[in-house]
Amino acid sequence: MTDTPLHLAKRELQRLLTSPKVWIGVLAVGLIAGLSGPFGTIDHLSPLPRLIYWILLSASAFFVGSGVGTFVHSALRPRLPDLVTTLAAGLCVGIVLTAILAAINRVIFGISPLDPEHLLGTFANVGVISLIVTVAFVAFDRLDETPDDTPETPRPADALLRRLPLEKRGPLLSLSATDHYVEVTTPNGSDLVLMRLSDAIELATGVDGLQVHRSHWVARAAVAGTRRDNGRLMLRLTDGRDIPVSRTYVSAVKDAGLTSE
């Protein structure tokens, strides 16, 4: 499965928009900024309009910035070094957020969005806002990966399956890398999760399975048989999909008793 940068950006926005933790963080940032009134807003706006202004700005900056950043990073990652890709994504996010802030300031303060002095000042301020957005994004993404600290023994792969929509959760069948996402598949469907394949496999500890390709992991119970495709070993899963086995992992597949070839 190969997704376009636009599809990955939509997936990321969907994940963020449905995360209560993200909304709590966005509202918290907006409330703190609204109460403190940075960048002179405390002198020009009364408390209620100031809160609305900063909550609106916080939400638009976070969600639009995350979508733009994911799109640009996904589009450039196959062609450029990761550092260059990240810097380019950050620059594009800054430009888009500057345009959003200029438009909001036009509505609230009547400032012309084409005023060069205003644009330069806005672009400088966006650096601070972008930093807040980035820190919040990383923090909430880490919280999503952290299992609940409860005395009960977690079921296998619970920490991973919690990141899927409720209707798609179930026994883990396979994990497949696609760009910087992992496609997590159960009998109830599949969904993309923003993480590395190695991290997803670690979260799947407790499920009897193995990595069979640099981009694929399968649960042993999900393997229904094997076949050859132009000499290449393929695993036929219980849901009808075929997963390729790379030469590196053929011996591991044989040792696991998944093929007698």
Q: What is the pLDDT of residues 19-47, one digit of tens each?
A: 888 889 888 888 888 888 876 778 778 88
* Mean pLDDT on 158-168: 85
Confidence band, pLDDT 50/70/90 cuts, at residue 134: very low
b/e for 80-116, b at 16 or more Cβ within 10 A?
eeeeebbebbbebbbebbbbbbbebbeebeebebeee
Q: Identify which has the larger pLDDT, 82 or 189.
A: 189
Asked if pLDDT for residue 144 goes beyond 60, the answer is: no
User: What is the reported pLDDT for 182?
Assistant: 92
Confidence band, pLDDT 50/70/90 cuts, at residue 130: low
User: What is the reported pLDDT for 235?
Assistant: 92
* Mean pLDDT on 45-54: 85
Separation CA 112–CA 105 (nearest Å): 8
* Mean pLDDT on 166-182: 89
Separation CA 144–CA 123 (nearest Å): 31
Separation CA 261–CA 254 (nearest Å): 7
Separation CA 209–CA 176 (nearest Å): 13
Confidence band, pLDDT 50/70/90 cuts, at residue 157: confident
Between the ranges 93-97, 101-105, 149-153, 228-232, where is the mean pLDDT highest? 228-232
Separation CA 207–CA 204 (nearest Å): 6
User: What is the reported pLDDT for 82?
Assistant: 66
pLDDT more than 70, % of the chain: 76
Could you give the 3-state DSSP secondary structure of residue 177? strand
User: What is the reported pLDDT for 186?
Assistant: 92
Separation CA 174–CA 195 (nearest Å): 15
- Classify residue 261 by burial, with Cβ atoms within 10 Å: 0-12, 13-18, 19+: exposed
Dihedral sign (CA 107, 112, 113, 119): negative
Dihedral sign (CA 49, 52, 55, 61): negative
Residue 8 CB neighbour total at 10 angstroms = 22
The DSSP H or E segment spanning 40 is none
* Residue pointed to by tokens 């109460």: 35
User: What is the reported pLDDT for 148?
Assistant: 44
Confidence band, pLDDT 50/70/90 cuts, at residue 183: very high
Q: Where are the beta strands (DSSP E) in 50-208?
A: 174-178, 181-186, 189-194
- 198: left (phi > 0), else alpha (psi -120 to 50), else beta? alpha
| Residue 114: HSE in the Cβ half-sphere, 13 Å Cα cutoff | 0
User: What is the reported pLDDT for 129?
Assistant: 56
Contact 65, 37 (CB under 8 A): no
User: What is the reported pLDDT for 214?
Assistant: 92
Asked if pLDDT for residue 128 goes beyond 70, the answer is: no
* Closest residue by Cα to residue 186 from 213, 158, 210, 214: 158
Number of continuous H segments (helices) and E segments (strands) in the chain:
9, 8
Q: Identify which has the larger pLDDT, 2 or 95.
A: 95
Asked if pLDDT for residue 200 goes beyond 60, the answer is: yes
Q: Identify which has the larger pLDDT, 157 or 177.
A: 177
Q: In whole numbers, what is the pLDDT of the chain averaged over residues?
A: 77
